[in-house]
Amino acid sequence: MVQRRDLVGGGLVAGLASMMAPAAEADAAVDDEQSTTAINRLRETFERQFDQVYSSRWRGVSRVREQQRTWLMSTRKYPDFIEIGIDVWDNIWDWHVVYQQPLSVTRVADGRYAMSFMFTTLLLRSDQKPDFVGYAFDADSQGRPR
């Protein structure tokens, strides 16, 4: 399977390389070196942009996914619930809007808000810090002390 990074970078590099073909053979070595440097800088810029997507803009999404992965590795299934703070809640909401994903928000029996995110129900904890991401848990462990 071709990675998106390879597809975008490879096509861009090939297109730029064909546009920048040197006119004379004498200047070819110098132009090739400059072109290679410019193309490498452009590729690195694109790679940095894709690497920072989940580390800066979608920090809440990445923190929730970390909890999901930890739970998934230990139990071989996604967790039923994760409690989150209001900043993480807003970040997940914005992620759904930006990527046009269906948004399923409801109120549970105890009055808290719940949002579905990748097989997990996120529970809003407005009494916690705004950037709070709790530990994952299942429905059967909800009554047990944590």
Q: Look at residue 146 and tell me if it is in a domain.
A: no
pLDDT higher than threshold 80 for residue 24: no
Q: Extract the runs of DSSP E, i.e. beta strands, from the chain.
A: 81-84, 105-107, 113-117, 120-124, 133-137
Token pair listed for 82: 């994760």
Interatomic CA distance for residues 60 and 126, integer angstroms? 15
Collapse the DSSP code of 122 into the 3-class scheme (helix H, G, I; strand E, B; otherwise coil) and give the result.
Answer: strand
Number of domains in the chain: 2
Whole-number pLDDT of residue 99: 87
Same domain, 101 and 43: no
Q: Kindly report, residue by residue over 32-62, the tens digit of the pLDDT.
A: 888 888 888 888 887 776 655 555 678 889 9
Among residues of the chain, what percentage have pLDDT more than 70? 70
User: Which range of residues forms the domain containing residue 13?
Assistant: 4-51
Same domain, 122 and 100: yes
C-beta separation of 42 from 12 below 8 A = yes
- Categorize the per-residue pLDDT at 28 as very low, low, confident or very high, splitting at 50, 70 and 90: low
Could you tell me the pTM of the whole model?
0.59
Greater confidence (76 vs 17) lies with 76
Q: Look at residue 11 and tell me if it is in a domain.
A: yes
Q: Kindly report, residue by residue over 88-107, the tens digit of the pLDDT.
A: 999 999 999 988 999 999 99
Report the mean per-residue pLDDT for the chain. Answer: 81
Same domain, 135 and 64: yes
